[in-house]
Amino acid sequence: MSYFLEIDAAGRQGARSFVGGRPRLPTGSVIPTCTLCGASQTFMFQIVFEEGEWRDWVMACFVCTSCAQRNYFIPEMPDPPLRGADISREFLVSYQKNFRFMVFEYSKDLVELEYNEKVICKPLVVTKRRRQVQPFAQVGGQPKWLLEDETPARLAGHPPVFLMNIFEDKSFQSTTFQIEDSAPRQMELSLSGVPEPSEDLCYKLFLGNSIYFFGTTGDERMVYAFTQTD
């Protein structure tokens, strides 16, 4: 079973899943920091899974927009071959250097953290049919691979479950992650290799590539993410 997540053009509030704004996390949570530069990471989106083994589990995605370091624009990959890989728990912890996936069970008691909003809030709505030319993501079902199948065999000692696929930003505009006027620009590398603020009024998540998310099926819920581009 699968469904799509689409940006709610009407901007209705109260959606369980959304892009930007302020994260809603369990009491006592803190905004993660980048292990490369020490800056607080930027909240990008929060998804509540509606079906399957991860039903009523939440994944909140944070990424550092304050530094730009070569080899860290997309998630680190394990040694090839990627298809059928046995990925350890230690890898799933250590590869989250300048990004973080916070996973927890959904509850009405989640609290909105004190946080300076950077990405403009856009509710996400669930639809079974692909109505938009480019929805935000497909959740569940079979991955829509741009290249070859790279499904791992095991994650942290357990069979993986395909969670979702955020579609490639072919326009390179990243309109999904438009930023507030007061938000600092995302850092990127210039042609000379020097970090400098982007001219774009948006943030890109992992270079705007297609992103594939797999989850663990054990007692501890963890996320393995990687990208493809054509």
pLDDT for the residue 54 = 97
For residue 182, the Cα-to-chain-centroid distance in whole angstroms is: 23
Q: Structurally, how many domains does the chain consist of?
A: 1
- Predicted confidence (pLDDT) per residue in 198-209, tens digit: 999 999 999 999
pLDDT for the residue 186 = 97
Q: What torsion, rounded to 10 degrees, do the Cα atoms 201, 207, 211, 214 define?
A: -110
pLDDT for the residue 105 = 96
- Predicted confidence (pLDDT) per residue in 101-154, tens digit: 999 999 989 999 889 999 999 999 999 877 766 789 999 999 999 999 999 999
pLDDT for the residue 131 = 72
* pLDDT above 80 (res 225): yes
pLDDT for the residue 123 = 94
| CATH number reported for the structural domain that contains residue 35 in this entry | 2.30.320
* pLDDT above 80 (res 196): yes
Per the structure, the complete domain to which residue 113 belongs is given by 2-228
For residue 226, the Cα-to-chain-centroid distance in whole angstroms is: 10
pLDDT for the residue 189 = 94
* Peptide bond connecting 81 to the previous residue in cis, omega within 30 degrees of 0: yes
pLDDT for the residue 134 = 77
- Predicted confidence (pLDDT) per residue in 21-57, tens digit: 999 999 999 999 999 999 999 999 999 999 999 999 9
d(CA 125, CA 17): 7
pLDDT for the residue 230 = 85
Instruction: Tokens for 179, please give them.
Output: 């930023």
Q: Which has more confidence, 224 or 128?
A: 224
H-state helical runs in the chain: 89-94
Binning pLDDT at 50, 70 and 90, where does residue 159 land? very high
- Burial (CB < 10 A; 0-12, 13-18, 19+), residue 170, is exposed
